[in-house]
Structure 1
Amino acid sequence: MSRAVLLCGLVGWTGATLLLSQLRWFRRVALAERLRTYAPGQGATTIAPGTGVSSLRNLREVLEPLLHDVAGQLSRLFGVSEELAVRLERTHSPFDVAAFRARQLGWSLAAFTAGSALALATSMPPAPAVLFILGAPLLTFLILEQQAITASQRWQRRLFHELPVVSEQLGMLLSAGYSLGAALNRLAERGQGCCARDLARVCGRIRQGLGEIEALDEWAELAGVDAVTRLVGVLSLNRDGGDLGRLITEEARAIRRDAHRELIEAVERRAQQVWIPVTVATLVPGVLFLTVPFVEAMRLFTTG
């Protein structure tokens, strides 16, 4: 009995402390908040502790990692292995991970509300109603996730098809006497495609102090395209190779051959797909014509 009273008192004291800590007159102001007033440029914009804006910011800081972890585990459960941050950065998306997950959460809540209202309005049986209410937000979540995957794959395809021309231009600039950094800057400024935007990011990283080869390696890792990795491997010989323009031109020809091979495979695959409806349209009447005499013969044998 005494242990139960002691446990109840401990739980009650902990709960009362947590409740009273939400009141400004009770809780102790953190040291960072007390020193924030004396920081340069922070005197006029300091947010008093306990205000709505500060509470909203703290709530967001708590919910964002939780939402990111839950959404990431749900994506991996359905076979999505690549991180969302990589896909968003690859496609130069205006959303960061937190904004994209918040957008997913908002659309999923809207789908949940709409599904619940529809289930109540149509008086569905319990089992279909539960399936519909839970399936609508899940389907919405997966649709937005698939949109990010499709945008990433489309970006990779466009990058692969633009790479031969960009490689040839880069080889001509290097053969004309341009340095590697100057050639990359020129292509980034003059181009308008996926390669140009990626090279602009590479040049930005170089201006931030990163080495040229390190920035190119970062681009190859982010792009996830084998042709880009091979091209960056050739460009890494910039300080050692004397005829880098010729090597880049040969690599551009190899990339063009790969693109041509994939185009031929796609054409042959579509040509084979044409025969599927033709085969089905031919087999169905044939099966019917074979079934009629077979059934008639079986009837004669059974009656005889």
Structure 2
Amino acid sequence: MTLASWGAVLGLVVAAGLLLVWARVSAIRRPQLAIRVLPYLRDLPELGGTAPLASTGAVGGVFGPLLRVAAHAVERVLGGAASVRRRLEQAGLDQSVHEFRVQQVVWGLVGFAVAAGYGVVRSLTGGADPLSSALLCLVGLALGVIWRDHHLSSQVRDRERAMLLEFPAVAELLALAVAAGEGPVAALDRVVRRSGGELSRELARVLADVRTGRPVGDAFDQWAARSGQPLVCRFAQGIAVAVERGTPLADVLHAQAADVREAGRRELIETAARKEVLMMVPVVFLVLPVTVFFAFWPGVIGLSLTTP
């Protein structure tokens, strides 16, 4: 082939490459159907396991598919989607199970990176074993995944503890509003607008359900179903029964607040009884030695001064 033929072939290859690049860029820049429809579906509830990743930047675009595949793998291995969904609702997190699995994968990768960094440091010092380093990385990955699940459980416990602390005051406010002549919905609205906290957010959800057309009793029954606290369930069921049967609601709310205060006092006494030995540790190992030291040190000094 002549030089002109080689130039023609090279020009055709370059033109074909540029054409492919232009076609791919135009396909990428074309808005997808999901992106065009998503603004009209923001108010609808998300389907479990189909929510996209929160990050839509370059990192989410590059690593999003891999994270989604890893999240599905974690879901197949661990399972328990119903338990995770219930705990997410109890923790007040606006997440789907799939997003939580993605977070577990990210935490696992962080644990893997920490273990890998430790393995690299050991290899630089000359005391690294490839098999032990690989096992350590796998253990770090598993611990990261498990720790995210444990952190979710701790978030649920912290939120339930905060709700129990807020419960007597909110119940008394509801009782005062009902005793002043307001209805259950108006009393809920007043308490939600005047208070803040985890319990107030749950009552705001109940109020939103009532305003969308759900009966008051059904809204409180649904709150009792998704709550994991016996006292809150009893409170919600008591309000539902009082609204349905016409029981004086103010008396029910006062009784519920008194029950919660008594339960908190009883729990405090039980906690103090369980930690009685731990409470004696500072007394035995700190206060008592200092007292003995101050009692006997002057006598020791006196004896040392009087003896020849």
Distance change >3 Å, CA 184–CA 130, structure 1 → 2: same
Partner in structure 1 of residue 101 of structure 2: 101
Q: CA deviation digits over 1:270-301, x for unaligned, max 9?
A: 223234688899xxxxxxxxxxxxxxxxxxxx
How many angstroms apart in 2 are the aligned matches of 1:242 and 1:144? Answer: 44
Structure 1, unpaired ranges of 5+? 1-35, 43-55, 282-304
Q: Bigger shift: 112-121 or 257-266?
A: 112-121
How many angstroms apart in 2 are the aligned matches of 1:74 and 1:40? Answer: 33
Matches within 5 A, 1:153-168: 153-168=157-172
Matches within 5 A, 1:1-304: 64=68, 67-68=71-72, 70-71=74-75, 73-74=77-78, 83-123=83-123, 124-236=128-240, 237-275=242-280
Distance change >3 Å, CA 62–CA 157, structure 1 → 2: same
TM-score (norm 2): 0.63
Structure 2, unpaired ranges of 5+? 1-32, 40-59, 287-308
Measure how far apart 1:86 and its partner are.
2.0
Partner in structure 2 of residue 5 of structure 1: none
Secondary structure at 1:261 match in 2: helix
Distance change >3 Å, CA 206–CA 113, structure 1 → 2: same
Letter of the 1:89 counterpart: E
TM-score (norm 1): 0.64
* % identical equivalent positions: 26
8 A contact 2:111–2:140 mirrored in 1: yes
Coordinate RMSD, CA, aligned:
3.6
Measure how far apart 1:96 and its partner are.
3.2
Q: CA deviation digits over 1:117-162, x for unaligned, max 9?
A: 5424523224422321111111111222211110101111111222
Measure how far apart 1:242 and its partner are.
4.1
| Aligned residue pair count | 228
8 A contact 2:206–2:219 mirrored in 1: yes
Q: CA deviation digits over 1:74-121, x for unaligned, max 9?
A: 376xxxx97222222222224433222212212322432442354245
Distance change >3 Å, CA 189–CA 61, structure 1 → 2: farther
Q: Bigger shift: 159-168 or 105-114?
A: 105-114
